[in-house]
Amino acid sequence: MKKLFIISSKSGRGRDKDFERELLKYFKEDEIKITEKAGDTISFAEDFRDKGGDLLFIKAGDGALSEVASVLRGSDTALGLVPGGTGNDFSKNFRPFELSNIFNYEISPIDLVEVNGKTCINVTSLGFDTNVLKYAYDIMKRKNISGKLAYLYGVIKSVANLEIVNLKISYCDQEDIAREITGRFLVSALCNGSYYGNGFNPSPRGRLDDGLLNLILAREMGALGIIKLFSSYRKGTHLGKPGVREIISRSGVISSDQEFLYNIDGEIYRASEISYKVLPKALKWIYYKE
């Protein structure tokens, strides 16, 4: 059984030397790789995949995890996550991780999403929440503050500078029936996983292996409406609230008459149209047992 453990040194607060020493109880030195520069995560994963690797574990945040998922998509190499980022949102879909339990696992496939040719493992979203990310990333670069405080700052800035996006959404539902809706939306979150944005739960009914995507839409609302929605959106109790809608979809196109910011697993892009489709059971996933 060939195995590899990648540590993303850029995730979270940097390298954890105590963790690295503990890891040597379970992996040989040549089975551990630590990233040093941009692109290392992808090159390590590609090399391991091409050599017929069986189990690839990564200690990283959602961004680096997404990179590795894109490399392993459709391959025989299984992927396991050790939370190591700022928000660690994707890890919230699973039981808490214990290093001592790393080889007590089962492998089962999960879905991925293709968005404008890129691979998404967790959530693609646009509107208010991407602006929150933009402001949060900006202040984290300028100030040495925690992720939670940065996200709070991002929320406040986004409320003060509301940007509503006029969208046309053409999609195929779970029965592959073509449908279309239009409107001015505050949030549009296309979810494979359930959590994003440092603990928010936009898709409480989402599943990673059902071949479906949960598109969560919140229509245009003012600052007071956002404040009322904020708590329930974090807890996952927002579905059914006024102005909030959940659409079950397999594929679609989201477009606007102007460019908008959107993010794929926390990486920000700009476009006037995004095309997406679910990739059922495209990634072998390592589930840790108790």
Domains of the chain, start order: 3-88 (3.40.50.10330), 120-281 (2.60.200.40)
> pLDDT at residue 129 above 90?
no
The pLDDT tens digits of the residues spanning 76-89 come to: 999 999 988 777 89
Q: What's the pLDDT score for residue 7?
A: 94
How does pLDDT run across 52-75, given as a tens digit for each residue? 999 999 999 898 999 999 999 999
Average pLDDT over residues 269-276: 97
> Which strand (E) or helix (H) includes residue 158?
helix 147-160
Helices and strands: H and E segment counts in the chain: 6, 13
pLDDT value of residue 137: 87
Stretch 34-52: mean pLDDT, rounded? 95
Contacts of 87 (CB under 8 A, 6+ apart): 61, 62, 147, 151, 196, 197, 198, 199, 266
pLDDT at 13 over 60: no
Distance (Å, whole) CA 168 – CA 273: 9
Question: Distance between CA 242 and CA 238 in Å, rounded?
Answer: 9
Read off the pLDDT of each residue in 209-222 and give the average, rounded to a whole number.
94
pLDDT at 141: 83
136 phi and psi, to 5 degrees? -65, -45
pLDDT bucket at 121, cuts 50 / 70 / 90: very high
How does residue 245 score in pLDDT terms, banded at 50, 70 and 90?
very high
Q: Is the pLDDT of residue 278 over 90?
A: yes
* Residue scoring higher pLDDT (214 or 229): 214
* Most confidently modeled range among 34-38, 98-102, 179-183: 179-183
Mean pLDDT for the chain overall: 92
CA–CA separation, 153 and 248 (whole Å): 32
- Out of 8-17, 44-53, 270-279, least confident range: 8-17
User: Does 207 have pLDDT greater than 70?
Assistant: yes
Residue 122, SS3? coil
SS3 content of the chain, % helix, strand, coil (to 5): 30, 40, 35
pLDDT over 60 (residue 12): no
- pTM over 0.75? The answer is yes
Tokens 């440092």, located at residue: 198
CB 62 within 8 A of CB 124: no
Which pLDDT belongs to residue 11? 59
pLDDT score of 148 = 77
pLDDT for 30 equals: 94
Average pLDDT over residues 210-219: 97
Instruction: Give me the mean pLDDT over the 236-241 stretch.
Output: 94
